[in-house]
Structure 1
């Protein structure tokens, strides 16, 4: 008998990869149409949700559409079934198709759109172009009898606590004496009711990132021998893992800008592209951002990029790039369609792990509004 994953569970797993907290403040992400409280037999991935995509999804009996660009970005004054976005919303509701958008959170996520583009372009030693978020860190300190200290250290390490840079399972311990008085009804691991008990304990401290804090505490308490576990959670000022827009990386060797433009056109499967800069300039360090890259000019220049590849560049921003000596490739916003295969691969992995028979489709509908006439 076929097993279908629920929409809630699928999106829960998806948001563990591209959490909403990474998105820009006013981005319109998340569930936009319909409900996730249902079984999903088919999910479709698309860059944009236009009417032809909605028709394709209805024809293929899709239950959930995951789009990169939000269907509803500006508030709708009405929802008409005969024009505009209302036609798309109406079709999705009529065919019980839920619509979920992952936009800047998917751009910023590790392994997200910009990492997919950097991989497709063959960039090496990549790093974040513009940091936008640093995950909060906490120090978890737990008091444990010496006999169980090593076990609790292993539990914390297995949960992901104690990761600092390229080191894992980092912790610090101090020895001391714990004292407690069990009250009536207590079932102490050691000692008796109404009698002060003193025992040799270790205080184990480890750094935990915010997204692992809750589960780490749960696992620690479950493994702890005490009926009532004494522990502290202390917010830290230390910077946690950084996330951000765009990526910057290296080519294996420097090549002329004119040759690199042709290489980008080939690797991204483009009809054409716009360029800013001299064809003879040499390119070695490359910055890339699939969406609007106008705000990224100073970041690319500061980090030593020879060229910025972007989905959108304005006329006067192109002048700014020329003035600061930065080459630019405007490859068009549609280069973000790289996310379709990347998201499908992720969802297929999740569905396999969940032992589900849910099918993942990539939309074949054309949504790029631009074409080159040469």
Structure 2
């Protein structure tokens, strides 16, 4: 394993311990290329490993891709160039690019994706704006310490209207439009105090939890219907739109980890960059 890849694995484990990932997830070092190019010290952060992101990685002479979503999720029965995903993996191997995925471990860790979403909901840097706590339960490590938890529940110090919440979410995620389902006749004028949060696809985690609003990327149709029927408002922003804005936070965290580690000459000048080709796959037209 190259010195850079070792540093990435070590740093990501410190940032988002893999034990915090959901049992169904596939996280960690997913692809280790045997090809090592000296002088290539660039790490690319992306949500998805799409063909466009792969081409960007080749142009930028990247050595390691930290892909939030695992490009290898289910067992692979073949590795052929006829399958786009498998072709991308094979090209990475050939070009000396390794792949690491943190996924739900980065969601759960304190200071991770779900906390970032919660900060956007609070709409203020002030502690008085409200509190963010675990939605499902803390994850206790073997040392007895809590490093993270599933989901988040934001409790606002002062109630706001749904219209205000919508504005906060749009501003935080940089979106012009979001999908909203109102669980009460008051609609946008309804007053809310609690917001349950899950990045990505949150229906299975959120439905049934006590909150005024469910805030996630996407939910199944019947999950939306059940939530609205129970009087809970639903805010959907697009799966990766609830995740991509966190990449600058991760980049800063990863750079900090690199700086605090003892590094040899091979690790000097590591460049952590955020993919410009990574985008939400669906457009509003």
Partner of 1:336: 243
Give how far 1:263 is off: 2.8
Partner of 1:290: 199
Q: Indicate the larger mover: 44-53 or 322-331.
A: 322-331
| C-alpha distance 36-58 of structure 1, shift in aligned 2 (>3 A) | same
Partner of 2:222: 316
Matched residues in 2 for 1:265 and 1:253: separation? 20
Partner of 2:141: 135
Partner of 2:126: none
Q: Which runs of 5+ in 1 are unaligned?
A: 137-208, 211-239
Aligned residues between the structures: 266
Partner of 1:351: 258
Question: What is the DSSP-based 3-state SS (H/G/I as helix, E as strand, rest coil) of the residue aligned with 1:72?
Answer: coil
Question: What is the DSSP-based 3-state SS (H/G/I as helix, E as strand, rest coil) of the residue aligned with 1:110?
Answer: coil
Aligned positions of 1:1-374 closer than 5 A:
6-35=4-33, 41-122=41-122, 124-131=130-137, 133-136=139-142, 209=143, 240-241=145-146, 243-251=148-156, 253-277=158-182, 278-298=187-207, 300-301=209-210, 305-334=211-240, 335-354=242-261, 356-373=268-285
Deviations 1:225-250 (Å, cap 9, x if unpaired)? xxxxxxxxxxxxxxx53732221223
Structure holding more helix per residue? 2
Q: Indicate the larger mover: 31-40 or 278-287.
A: 31-40
Q: Is the CA contact (8 Å cut-off) linking 1:351 and 1:357 kept in structure 2? A: no
Matched residues in 2 for 1:281 and 1:36: separation? 57
Question: What is the DSSP-based 3-state SS (H/G/I as helix, E as strand, rest coil) of the residue aligned with 2:14?
Answer: helix
Question: What is the DSSP-based 3-state SS (H/G/I as helix, E as strand, rest coil) of the residue aligned with 2:137?
Answer: strand
Deviations 1:122-169 (Å, cap 9, x if unpaired)? 363110111262224xxxxxxxxxxxxxxxxxxxxxxxxxxxxxxxxx
Give how far 1:35 is off: 4.1
Matched residues in 2 for 1:51 and 1:254: separation? 44
Question: What is the DSSP-based 3-state SS (H/G/I as helix, E as strand, rest coil) of the residue aligned with 2:248?
Answer: helix
Q: Which runs of 5+ in 2 are unaligned?
A: 124-129
Taking structure 2 as the reference length, the TM-score comes to 0.85
Q: Is the CA contact (8 Å cut-off) linking 1:6 and 1:37 kept in structure 2? A: no
Matched residues in 2 for 1:365 and 1:252: separation? 39
| C-alpha distance 36-118 of structure 1, shift in aligned 2 (>3 A) | farther
Give how far 1:37 is off: 9.7
Deviations 1:13-36 (Å, cap 9, x if unpaired)? 220221111111231111122249
Give how far 1:73 is off: 1.0
Partner of 1:153: none
Taking structure 1 as the reference length, the TM-score comes to 0.66
Structure holding more strand per residue? 1
Question: What is the DSSP-based 3-state SS (H/G/I as helix, E as strand, rest coil) of the residue aligned with 2:189?
Answer: coil
- Name the Cα RMSD after superposition: 2.3
**Greater Rg, structure 1 or structure 2?**
1
